[in-house]
Structure formats: C-alpha cells, structure tokens
Chain A
C-alpha cells in the first residue's frame, strides 16, 4: 500500500478509528499486529509469511539469549544474524552475484551452465531485517530485556508506518513505547497531521512532478542535450530528497497519529557543509544503524588511522550495497566512503577547532557547502543511472562540454550557452525554498507565527492542496526497492 493512494487513506481511517476506540493496549497491540500484516499483504500476501518468519527468528533468538549461559550467547546471536542476513542475501543479492559471476566468466571467454533465478524482492525487506538484527544484537549486548510477547515484538518489527521504507527504528527507541500506556494527546496527534501533510507535499507534489520530468531523460539518455542531462541530474538530486524525506515524514506523522514517536530521519541534508555533516542529516536512522552495528564492531575510530579509514570505506561500501544489488550502488557507497575519509583527513590536518572558527567565515562556508553538495550531486549520478555505461556517458558528455567551453575561453571567443527549454523552476524552487528557508532555524525563530487556528488551516490547505497538486500518475517511493 502506498501512502499517497486511496486504499491507504481508507486503511488509515479505519485503523485510527478502531485503534483509539479500543479500551487498552491489550487489545490495541493485537489489532495493530493484524493491521500491519494486512498492510504488508496488500502488496503480496505471500510475503506475510516471510515477515512472520523474521519475527519468529528475532523472538526466538531474544528469548534464547536470556535463558542460555553467556558462553552460548555469542553463537546464538551470530546464528540469528546469519540467518537473517541469509534471508536478505537470498532475496536481494543472489541474482546480483550470479550475474556478476556469469559476466566475469564471459569476460574470460568461458560459459556457465546455470542461469539466474526468478526471485521477487519483497518490499521493505532491508528495513525489517535490519530492525530484527538491531533487536537481536541489542538483547545480546544486554541493553534491552528480551521481549516476552511475540505480539509486541511483531508490532515493533512490522509497524506499518515504517515497514516498507523506514525509518529503521532501533529496538531501544521503540519497544519501551509499547510497554507504556498510550493516551490520546490532541497536540501530539495534530503534530502528526502536520508532519503527514508536509510529507505528502514533498512526495506527491515535489518528488512525483520531478520524477515525471527526469525519468524520460534517464530513459533516453543518448538523445538528450548536455543541459537536459544536467537538468535531469539536478532534478534527481531534488527528487530523491523529497521522495525519501517525504515518505519518512509521512511515516513519522502516521506513527504519531497512533501515539508513537519515531525519530527524525532527515534534517535538511542539503544544508550540510561537510560530508560528515551530510551523513548526520541524511537517512539518519541508516547512518546510526551502520555506525552501531557495523562501523563500531569493525573497530570504529579507536584504532590506527589507516584502519579507521578502511572501516569507513567498508561501512559505506556495505551501506551502498544495502541500497540495492547493483555495482552502481557499490560505486555510490564507495565514493561516499572515500569522500568521508578525505573529510576526516582534512579535519585532522586543519585541526578541527580551527575549522570551527573558519566556519563562521562566509567564504569558507559557501566554499564548503559547494564542495560538499557538489560531491553529493555527482555521487547521485551512479545511484540513478541504470547502467555503468550511462554513468560514464553522463560524465563523458559533461567533460566534452567543459573542454569545449575552456577552449572557447582560451581562444577569446564567447562560449555559446544554448540552454534548451526545461522546467528549471520546478527543479530548483522547491529545493531552494526548503533548504534555504525551511531549514534555517534562525529565520524560523524570527518569523514564526503562534496560531492554533493558523496551523489547522495550514494543515487543511496543505492536504487539500496536496491532492490538487499531486501528480496523477502513481509513482512508487524510490526507497521501496531497497
């Protein structure tokens, strides 16, 4: 079920109505458990069995970890994580590895007898598997008591607002909430509506309109001019943010309507002035998961500098692979890993405190912002391009254009900027306003308006406006595929 469709609207209204009518959590949790499975089964009911198996594995591992002597705990934790990663690996990476082996053999002039399998990737598998791992490891680390109720654990792992596209919720953030009594709190509920309305505008209006502009460009890359390719890449830079941040906001909003708090997943990432800062603002729940369950176990930064950089690159590589079984995602992760290492090296060399002082310098800030966002922008290209050849084609086209521009400049002839018609306003304006104004805390403090009626009106207009403006062709959330 997609959040921006009519079935979801009906589903949400029914769930909210029944949920708040039920007298206590004793009834609400089983109801939510069933609602979660209905939500997931709407896409393909066969995969509800998979979700249930993942819940059973996590539940069984948690219970075992509490009951067995400590010497058996590590093998149990490792066994459960291997099993969960095995499920993820089978559904998500089997064909990728088979295809890669095929390709490698082909390059060497050989052939293999077997082919790839017909495997359907279950929606949101990466999200709920990572949450299950988070639960098992947290119980193993004794930072959380194993959940006694299968229903409660099931509600946590299959909670429909974040089931298929995150945010990835760490067990200690959510499970304790299931033990507290939920009381209806109107301001909290209305704040949920506000977040949902904002997310709806991000996704249904900004991201989907951008998708309509850029998809034909990437589908027929060879027929595009250099400016259109640039516009398409800039459009994707905005689309992926509005799509994913919009979905996250809607998920957080829906959770709030049910009385639960989900942590922020995006904090104006395009305001970041360093790659380190960017990863503190972009897909925060994934960054934290990778930090807690991959980077720190690898040794984190409490080791030699080369080892530390290796850890960063490995983490980002695997982070890239988490996004999808494709060399393009690996390249994207690898590029971010290298850029993060350079960022860390710069901080070490320039002495971070001095850098803090420099940050107050406007030129430094603008330069750092341009450099950071330039890297982020360029890294999105392999992320979006369907094939390696497309990525190289884009860079090659720009290289040719730039060299032509330079040679014209060197020959003292004015370069001709032949910019074709393109919806630049649609590509630039939402990003600019969101990043420069919405993301500016000082501006918000200075111009904020205290009015309950104003807020209610804004929510109403945003929801109705979202409906009026939403792009009519249903566009899936980009992060569903991950």
Chain B
C-alpha cells in the first residue's frame, strides 16, 4: 500500500496550479523547512524502523532475542563472535555453546556474521546490537565478562572495504554505510591506500547520502512489520563448482613440507589498526576481552597470513589458531570442504569443535588478558 504515497504526490503535482503569488522565496523557504524537518526527524528514527528487512537487522534481532531468553546470561560469560562467511558457514554458535558446556565452560554464545560482511559491516551489526539491547541490558552487559571474538581473514583485514566495489549500491551496503561509517571507511581506505579510484570517495559520499535519505522501509516498498526469518547457521553442502579439491589438497600437503611463505603485506595494516581503535571506542567499555581466531583453511596464502598474524597480534588480546597440522590432516576429506575456505555441514562441526577446544585450552588466558586501547608495539 506504500506505493499510494508517491502516487498521491504525483497527483498533487498535476492537480495543484499556482496562483498569482508564486515566488522563488516561497519555494526555497518551503524546501528549507521540509529538509530541516526531515533531517531532524531522521536523526531520531531508530534503525530498526528504517531497515527492518535488512539481513543485518534480522540477524541482530535474532541473536538479541536469543540472548535475552538465555537463562541468567548476565551472570555467565558472553562470547560475541563477529566474522564473515568463514564464521557464518564454519561456526554454529549454538553448537559451540554446548561444546563449551561439555568442557566445563558455561557461557552464552551469540554470532554476528554474514557472507561477505567486511569489518565495517560487522561494526554496523555490533552498533545495531547495542542499540537493540537497550540501556538497561547494556549496563548488564558491562557487568558480565563479555568476550568479543573477531575473525582473522587476510582479505578483510588488509582492505577494510573488501567487496565494497562489488556490492556498491545494494541495499545491504547502503544500510551499513551510514554517514559515520562512511567517514570511517574514508579514513581507513586513505591510510591503507587500497582504493585509488577517483570515484571511490564519491561513492562513499553517495552511499552515506542514500543511507540518510533513502530510508529503507520506503525504498524497498515493504511494510513495517515485514520480517524475514533467518537461520543463524546456514551449513553448506556439496562443493563449489569452480573448486578442485584434489588439486588443492595436493598443494596443501606439499606446503606442509616447507615452512609458510613470507607474505608481502604489513600486519596489522594501518586501516585495521584504525578499525580496532574505533571498535574499542564503541565496545571497549562493555567487553572485557578481545580474542582473535583464525579458522582452518586450505588456501596457502591465507594460512601464511594466519601464522604471520599470530606473531603480530596486540599483546592486550588473545589469538586462537592457526589450526595444528594434526587437526588439518583430520580435516583433509573432500566431504568437509565446500571450497578452500568454507566447510560443508560436516566440516563445520569439526571447525566448531576445534574452536571450542581452543577456547577451553586458552580460557584462563582469555579471562586474564584485558582488552585495552590497541597497542601494536
């Protein structure tokens, strides 16, 4: 029914004709007042009203609902996982919670990951999470031992706007690039010097503008109560059409004979450091610890990056991974891999078990290492 609003506006433009008193001053004044009211109104509109159908929004609401229904979550450690498709397809948050319980750790696990979600989109999910949680629960969150777990993945870590070019102008990209995130993206891209395209800055500005003005509810012509259901864990099956498992396995086995290659990139990158400073500003007061984790991968370059990251991660954080060779050997079966990074459903169980084991092993270290303003020295 929302379509009738623009229709009514088009009718008004056709049916209203000016009387003799028409002046430019009147038009400019009306436009100025209209714009002012809109800008002010937009500032106070909750994001949930604006983008109710966004994948990020649905995921966040799902996880918030799960958290608030968990028994005495305020008294237990809370693990907040944030990641891209590697986490989305590789880690089952609910299963991880049970596996941790079997290892004697009573914790609640919530997961903010989406395929193709770069750091800034994950930041947006965390911002939404805090907004959805409300003031009262945010205070409870600060009191509980909350642990933020962040995925380590070379493509995303090196380019804070990874996949932005490909996903530009999609509703999802417009949602996470609100003016503040667009500003951060601008800063991060400038220090990383990844994007050299002259139109890149225009695009960021345009996305921020679209974010502010093309209020999602209207731009998708969907009613306010529209809600998609989303399963927080979406296991993959089969294998990617372009993925040659045999060849990848051979290459991987061959690489075990020689030490990981040196990689030609700065770790951590300047943009990455800026991002974690920003993340600290947003969540530092609420989260006790920051943990990085590197999930199993068959791609040699990524694994090399994980090893290098293990050497350079900030000392105020804990690092889990990379998976040992024994574990990787256990994973070397075709049915476990969708491609070199993403596991199938069976592989995901093993990935989750590995993460649970890593957390249990390093539990005391995780609790003891308090997240402070990032120092990369």
Contacts and interface: CB of A to CB of B under 8 A. Distances in A.
Contacts of A473: 169-171
Given A187-B22, A189-B24, A450 B17 contact: yes
Interface in B21-47: 21-24, 26-27, 29-31, 33-35, 38
B169 A464 contact: no
A460 B34 contact: yes
Given A209-B221, A425-B1, A460-B31, A468 B215 contact: yes
A298 to B, nearest CB: 38
Contacts, number: 152
Contacts of A201: 6, 9-10, 13
B250 interface: no
Contact of B7 (A187, A433, A450): A433
A205 B30 CA distance: 22
Interface string B229-252: 000000000000000000000000
Contact of A444 (B6, B15, B27, B219): B15
A468 B213 contact: yes
A450 B18 contact: yes
Interface string B83-121: 000000000000000000000000000000000000000
Interface residues of A, number: 53
Interface in A3-24: 5-7
Contacts of B23: 186, 452
A452 B9 contact: no
Of the listed residues B4, B13, B35, the one surrounded by the most CB atoms of chain A closer than 10 A to its CB is B13
Given A472-B169, A472-B214, A5 B27 contact: no
A469 B219 contact: yes
B278 to A, nearest CB: 25
Given A452-B21, A455-B22, A462 B31 contact: no
Contact of A453 (B5, B26, B221): B26
Contacts of B205: 6
B9 A7 contact: no
Nearest to B173: A472
Interface in A168-223: 186-187, 189-190, 193-194, 197-198, 201-202, 205-206, 209
A425 B171 CA distance: 22
Given A189-B24, A425-B1, A472-B174, A452 B6 contact: no
Interface in A423-438: 425-426, 429-430, 433-434, 437-438
A31 to B, nearest CB: 21
A113 interface: no
A469 B6 contact: yes
Contacts of A447: 15
B206 interface: yes
A465 B16 contact: no
A201 B29 CA distance: 22
A164 interface: no
B9 A449 contact: no
Contacts of B12: 454, 458, 461-462
Contacts of A466: 6, 9
B87 to A, nearest CB: 27
Of the listed residues B9, B21, B29, the one surrounded by the most CB atoms of chain A closer than 10 A to its CB is B9
B16 A451 contact: yes
B16 A458 contact: yes
A461 B9 contact: yes
A5 B209 CA distance: 10
A468 B29 CA distance: 20
Given A433-B10, A448-B17, A453 B213 contact: no
Nearest to B213: A467
A98 interface: no
B218 interface: yes
A378 B31 CA distance: 43
Contacts of A449: 15-17
Contact of A434 (B10, B33, B221): B10
A430 B11 CA distance: 10
A196 B9 CA distance: 13
B226 interface: no
A198 B9 CA distance: 8
B180 interface: no
Contacts of A461: 9, 12, 34
Given A6-B205, A462-B9, A467-B213, A186 B22 contact: yes
Given A209-B221, A433-B10, A464-B38, A472 B16 contact: no
Interface of B: 1-7, 9-24, 26-27, 29-31, 33-35, 38, 169-171, 174, 202, 205-206, 209-210, 213-216, 218-221
16 contacts: A6-B202, A186-B22, A209-B221, A429-B3, A430-B7, A450-B17, A452-B19, A452-B21, A454-B16, A455-B16, A456-B22, A464-B35, A465-B6, A468-B214, A469-B221, A472-B216
Given A430-B7, A448-B17, 10 more contacts: A6-B206, A452-B20, A452-B21, A452-B23, A458-B9, A458-B13, A467-B214, A471-B219, A472-B219, A473-B170
Cβ-closest 3 pairs across A and B: A460-B34, A456-B30, A458-B12
